[in-house]
């Protein structure tokens, strides 16, 4: 689902469509410039023909004047064509400016994402420090409790020693009783 948050948001698809339109317009310009080049080649050929005609300058001067007027009309036509090309380039320039604005908008959004990511990292760091402090407190409390348990704890060695003492006391008591009974 594509959501636009402002009128300046442009999707990748729209950018690609505009670039394809621009490339189509430039292809047409190549053909037109090739046509202009052919016309200039034709003009060059006409000027070569004029060299030979200057020999008979007086009779042909009127004819040349008419031809120059025709060339002037053709140059006016070329001027109009260049004027229309200038208008088209102005339109292309506007579209490029629009694309530039769209890219600036995307850069702003990425900056906002970076700022949000920094805030998340700071929050995680704070949580990690809090958890470390909590674990350190729990660890210290556990060590104190373990120390208390060890202080009152009865070990196997202690019980073995007490049992041995009790056993020897019972044997001594039993021998005394047997000696008394035998006496």
Give the domain extent around 159. 153-183
| Domains of the chain: total | 2
Question: What is the maximal distance between C-alpha atoms in the chain?
Answer: 182
Side-chain half-sphere CA neighbours of 101 within 13 A: 11
Residue 4 counted as domain residue: no
The answer to whether 53 and 60 have CB atoms below 8 angstroms apart is: yes
Residues 158 and 148 in one domain: no
Q: Do 96 and 172 belong to one domain?
A: no
Summarize pLDDT for 24-51 with one digit per residue, the tens.
Answer: 666 666 666 666 667 766 766 666 666 6
Mean pLDDT of 125-146: 91
pLDDT band at 92 (very low <50, low <70, confident <90, very high): confident
CA end-to-end span of the chain: 110
Statement: the pTM of the whole predicted model exceeds 0.75: no
3-state secondary structure at position 11: coil
pLDDT at 68 over 80: no
Predicted local confidence at residue 111, as pLDDT? 80
Q: Could you tell me if 112 and 34 lie in one domain? A: yes
How much is the average pLDDT of 104-121? Answer: 82
Claim to verify: residue 90 and residue 103 sit in the same structural domain: yes
**Residue 178, pLDDT score:** 92
78-91: average pLDDT = 81
- Give the HSE-up count for residue 70: Cα atoms under 13 Å, Cβ half-sphere: 8
Helix (H) or strand (E) holding 37: helix 12-53
Q: Based on the domain organization, do 118 and 94 belong to the same domain?
A: yes
Task: Identify whether residues 75 and 161 lie together within a single domain.
Answer: no
pLDDT top residue among 178 and 52 = 178
**Cβ-proximal residues to 95 (8 Å cutoff; 6+ apart), any chain:** 18, 22
Look-up of token digits 């970076």: 114
H helix or E strand, kind and range, residue 162: helix 156-182
Same domain, 27 and 16: yes
């Amino acid at each position: 689902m594509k959501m636009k948050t402002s009128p300046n948001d442009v999707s990748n698809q729209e950018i690609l469509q505009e670039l394809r339109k621009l490339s189509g317009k430039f292809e047409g310009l190549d053909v037109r410039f090739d046509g202009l080049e052919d016309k200039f080649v034709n003009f060059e050929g006409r000027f070569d023909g004029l060299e030979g005609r200057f020999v008979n300058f007086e009779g042909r001067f009127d004819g040349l004047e008419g031809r120059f007027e025709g060339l002037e009309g053709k140059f006016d036509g070329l001027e109009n064509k260049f004027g229309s090309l200038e208008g088209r380039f102005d339109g292309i320039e506007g579209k490029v400016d629009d694309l530039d604005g769209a890219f600036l908008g995307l850069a702003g959004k990425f900056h906002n994402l970076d700022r949000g990511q920094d805030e998340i990292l700071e929050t995680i760091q704070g949580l990690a420090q809090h958890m470390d402090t909590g674990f350190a407190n729990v660890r210290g409390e556990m060590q104190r409790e373990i120390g208390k348990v060890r202080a009152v704890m009865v070990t196997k060695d202690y019980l073995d020693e007490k049992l041995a003492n009790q056993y020897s006391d019972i044997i001594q008591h039993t021998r005394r009783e047997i000696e008394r009974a035998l006496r």
